[in-house]
Structures are given as C-alpha cells and as structure tokens.
Amino acid sequence: TNNCYILGIESSCDDTAAAVINNGVILSNVVATQAIHEAYGGVVPELASRAHQQNIVPVVHQALQEANIDKNQLSAIAFTQGPGLMGSLLVGTSFSKSLALGLDVPLINVNHMQAHILAHFIKTEGQQAPNFPFIALTISGGHTQIVKVSDFFEMEIIGETIDDAVGEAFDKSAKILGLPYPGGPLIDKYAQKGNPKRFKFTKPKVKPLDFSFSGLKTAVLYFIEKETKENPGFIKENIEDICASLQYTIVDYLMDKLKNAVKQTGIKEIAIGGGVSANSGIRNALKAAEKKYGWKTHIPKFEYCTDNAAMIAIVGELKYKKEAFSANNVVAKARMKF
Ligand code: KG4
Ligand code: ZN
C-alpha cells in the first residue's frame, strides 16, 4: 500500500471523468464535458447517461495513457457511488465494478460530496492542505452546503440550500438575461466591469446556515420584465451593472452564511469547492476576509473545483490505505448521506 496507483472515475452528472493518482500526486486528470446540454439550457439526464456510455472507455484509456501507466499497474478502482443522476451514476458504477473484477483489484465507492471537500488534500505546488477542523463550503450547479470537517471521513452538514443550488441561481438568472448555458461564468465576466450597488436584490431569509435561491430567480425575472416593458433595450444597455449587482447579492449572501458558520463553530479555517468557487467575487471576498477577520482560506485549482475524477482518486487513495473497500454488490445511490 506504500506505492499505489488508483484510478478514479466520476460520472454523477454531465461530466465523464477519469484520473490516476500516485501517492497524493495526480498523474492525469481527464474530463469529457457534454456539450449536448447547452442547446437545452440545462442537463438532460437521459442524454447524460448515453453520453457517459459513449465517453467512458475513451476517457479511461486517455487517463491511463497520460499517466503513462499500464492498467495492470492499478492498485484499485475508485468510483462515484452518489449522490447524482441515477442513469449517469449507473454507467460509472457498472463500468468500475467490471474493471475491478477484470483486473482483480479492490473496488472503492466514493461519496461525490466528500470528494469535493477532500480534493483539498491533492498535493498541489504552492498550496497547503487545510488543517482539521475546518469549514467546507461546497458551491456548484448541483450543491450548496456548509460542512464541518473534523477529520477525513468525519463530516457534518451544518447548513444547505432548501431549494436551488447557487450555481442554478447564476445559471437561471443568466437565462432570464438571455445569456447561454451555463451562464455563471458570463455573469462573472460582465460583473467585473459593472457597478455592484446600482440595483438592489433582497437576500432571502432562512435559518442562519441554510440557503434559499429560488426567490432570487423570481425577483430577477420580475425586475427584468418590469424594466424591459419601459425600455426594451434595458438588458443590453445595463448588462454589466445588472450582473455586478446580482453577483454582489449572491456573494454577500454566501459570506453572511460563512460568517454565521464561523460564529457558531469557532472555526476560522475555510475551504471552498465546486464550480462556483471559480467566481471572482467570492474569491475576492474570501481574500478580504483573511485580512478583515483573520480567517485562513483555501481555494483549490479550478480543475479540482468543478466535477472531476482527481477528487474521486484522492478519496480512493485515502480509503485504500485504510482498506475500506466496497462489497461486490455495491449499488449507485442518487441520494446519499455522508
Ligand atoms: O462543479 P460544477 O462544474 O458542476 C456541478 O454543478 O456539480 O459547477 C458548475 C456550476 C454552473 O452552475 C456554473 O454556472 C458555475 O458552476 N460557475 C460559475 C463560475 N464558473 C462556473 N458561477 C459563477 N461564476 C463563475 N465564474
Ligand atoms: Zn459536483
């Protein structure tokens, strides 16, 4: 178990991904993103599973090639068991079970949400792994959670969204503004040139550590409908200020929740993950909080933030060292607790 090569496989949503890890170092990290969903303005589950089935063998093949290892050198196969879209999970799960059987190596089931958090333990030059205990904020198109992390596999969800994920709030607002899917990065781009105080959007009220985003989307819709009735050119003329104001509201809301979490737990070490961690607003706000509140913050490399298999591989390695292997009859789970 000292020198191990673990293949990680991720297929929970719309990215087919495979990665090889060797003693905490990522040797390859391959992602096939499914462009097909763009035309539908969101992920279509049925199309996602079919695309996974097409992509999985080429993606794994490429991951082995880029890692420059032979499949017979693999020590174990780690795969995303859930949570996610059932059809998508089934492809990765079935493939991984077969491959492990064929190679006669252990199989390791991984919780996707734990993986987003443990991605911080991938060895990365110039970056330090978080110290336990820390607060993890996972923000993406599918998740919005605050987790208290006491040890590698000792995690407690202390807050989460009661409706939409924060990435959905970005993407659905972007859609209302006529921007293509996924709109989050475009909102970010326009926001950087706009005035964040120009328009006001109210922050939804829920429990101190929970989130709600469905009201924000409706507020944006009504606001745009009203303004474009008076001036059909409103969006085009004000896109930068609209995006800046919207992003300011969302980032401020995320920061409010983090402040509440720090207050409640007394933990000042914060690690963020998920696709929305790419957002310039949240990155700047976190950096500012280091000086302002004495927090220590961690933001992983972008390729480890969005859905990827490197994070599955690192969890696979951690579990491999504990010999925490899957049973032969392990099944995919759309919903999954820690
Ligand atoms: O983690 P991810 O790749 O997939 C999952 O949803 O699990 O996250 C994708 C989400 C999308 O909603 C996308 O709009 C959002 O992350 N996103 C951003 C930015 N980059 C990606 N949202 C705001 N600002 C960004 N720069
Ligand atoms: Zn994810």
Q: How far is CA 314 from CA 47, 118, 257, 322, in A?
A: 28, 7, 28, 13
pLDDT at position 1 is 60
Substitution site in 140, 171, 249 for ligand 1 pocket (most atoms within 8 Å of beta carbon): 140
pTM exceeding the 0.90 threshold for the entire prediction: yes
Classify residue 39 by its DSSP letter.
G
- Interval between CA 275 and ligand 2 midpoint (Å): 8
Structural domain boundaries of the chain?
Answer: 5-120+305-321, 130-299
Does 130-299 match 5-120+305-321 at the fold level?
yes
- Interval between CA 277 and ligand 2 midpoint (Å): 12
User: pLDDT tens digit string along 119-174?
Assistant: 999 999 999 999 999 999 999 998 899 999 999 999 999 999 999 999 999 999 99
Q: Is 116 exposed, middle or buried (0-12, 13-18, 19+ CB in 10 A)?
A: buried
Closest CA to 186 of 250, 243, 245: 243
pLDDT at position 335 is 95
- Interval between CA 278 and ligand 1 midpoint (Å): 7
Q: What's the CA gap between 89 and 98, in Å, rounded?
A: 14
User: pLDDT tens digit string along 232-253?
Assistant: 999 999 999 999 999 999 999 9
Q: Counting ligands in written order, which one lies closest to the CA of residue 117?
A: 2
- Interval between CA 298 and ligand 2 midpoint (Å): 17
pLDDT at position 43 is 86
Binding residues for substrate: 138-142, 171, 184, 188, 279
What tokens were used for 187? Answer: 């909102």
**Ligand 1, atom 10, residue with closest C-alpha:** 141
Neighbours of 103 (CB within 10 A): 17
Q: Counting ligands in written order, which one lies closest to the CA of residue 112?
A: 2
Q: Counting ligands in written order, which one lies closest to the CA of residue 174?
A: 1
Give the CATH H-level superfamily of domain 5-120+305-321. ATPase, nucleotide binding domain (3.30.420.40)
pLDDT at position 248 is 98
pLDDT at position 39 is 82
- Interval between CA 257 and ligand 2 midpoint (Å): 20
Q: Which amino acid is at 87?
A: G
Q: Which residues of the chain have pLDDT under 50?
A: none
Q: Are 14 and 88 in contact (CB under 8 A)?
A: yes
Residue at token pair 């921007």:
179
Pocket of ligand 1 (CB under 6 A): 13, 140-142, 167, 170-171, 182, 184-185, 188, 274-276, 278-279, 306-307
Q: What is the CATH number of domain 130-299?
A: 3.30.420.40
